[in-house]
Structures are given as C-alpha cells and as structure tokens.
C-alpha cells in the first residue's frame, strides 16, 4: 500500500483526472452528434459507423469484418445491419464459394445518403473541436496514439 514517492501517487491521480475528463468530453460530443443525426436524418451513430465502414470498402464487407473493424459484437452488427436493410440503405449478398458468409454492401440510396452525411459530419466535428488549434491537435493526436498502440493491437 505504501507508494514509493509522493509523485507516483500524484501521477496516478492525474491519470484518473485525465481519464474522467476524456470520458466526459467524448460522451458530450457523442451525445451532440447523436442528437444532430437524429434531427437531421433520423439516424444513429452506430448506423453511421457501419455505413462509413462500408463506404470505405466499396466491394462490401463480411459481417465478421464489420464487427472486427468497428469492434462491436457479432450479434450487435446483425441487428444494426437488419435495420439498415429494412431502410434500403444496405444489402446482404451471398459470398460466392462460402455459403456461411454474407457480404454487406451500400445500396445506391445508401451511398447517396452517406456522401451527404459525411460532409456535414466533418463540419460538425470541426465545430465541436474548434477550441483546439493546430498545435493542440498534433499534441493530443500523438499522446492518444501512444495509448492506442499499447491498448490494442492493429490500426
């Protein structure tokens, strides 16, 4: 229980403070983005995330690819894709050569909608993070990068 020095304990408390602030800021921005998406397009952040991943992969992605990239459970992706399919924004196609797998692709309607959303989304983020200038962006990006490296593996 005895710590080696006072500064060691202070550092731990500082990390806790940073973590709590990071959590708070992230949640607030997420809440703001969620609300705007709801108002603007009657959609949600998870749906946007799925569409974004599919947009980056024009040929479509398997369900397991989606849950891997987005880091959410398989079962969760099933539900989100179900709803996107119901809205005609996404299609499930069978994978030739493997009858287990499904390839999920943006429909034309989905592509058009996402092109619209992506631009507006970038402007919203720019607005919400506007208190951070070029200098701060670089610093925060690099510090967070160190955590990203150690916490998980890839990307």
* Minimum distance, C-beta of residue 13 to a copy of itself, in the bound complex (Å): 8
Q: Is 136 in the site for a copy of itself (CB under 8 A)?
A: yes
- 92 bridge partner residues: 104
Order across the sheet with 61-62: list the strands.
61-62, 98-106, 90-95
Interacting residues with a copy of itself between 88 and 127 (CB under 8 A): 122-123, 125-126
Give the CA distances from residue 124 to residues 35, 92, 130, in Å, rounded to whole numbers and listed in that order. 12, 31, 10
Binding site partner of 40, from DNA, a copy of itself, none, Cβ cut-off 5-8 A by kind: none
Asked whether position 37 contacts DNA by CB under 7 A, the answer is no
**Interacting positions 61-90 with DNA (CB under 7 A):** 62-65, 71-81, 83
Q: Which residues bind DNA (CB under 7 A)?
A: 31, 34-35, 38, 44-47, 62-65, 71-81, 83, 92, 95, 97-103
Q: Which residues bind a copy of itself (CB under 8 A)?
A: 1-2, 6, 11-19, 21-32, 71, 122-123, 125-126, 128-134, 136-152
């Amino acid at each position: 229980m005895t710590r080696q020095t006072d500064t060691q304990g202070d550092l731990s408390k500082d990390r806790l403070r940073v973590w709590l602030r990071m959590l708070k800021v992230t949640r607030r921005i997420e809440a703001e983005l969620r609300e705007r998406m709801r108002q603007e397009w009657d959609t949600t952040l998870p749906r946007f995330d799925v569409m974004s991943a599919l947009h980056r992969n024009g040929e479509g992605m398997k369900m397991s690819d989606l849950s891997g990239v987005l880091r959410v459970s398989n079962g969760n992706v099933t539900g989100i894709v179900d709803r996107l399919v119901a809205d005609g924004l996404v299609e499930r196609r069978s994978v030739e050569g493997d009858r287990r797998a499904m390839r999920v692709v943006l429909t034309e309607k989905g592509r058009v909608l996402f092109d619209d959303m992506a631009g507006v989304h970038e402007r919203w983020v720019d607005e919400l993070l506007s208190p951070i200038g070029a200098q701060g962006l670089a610093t925060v990006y690099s510090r967070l990068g160190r955590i990203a490296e150690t916490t998980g593996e890839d990307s």
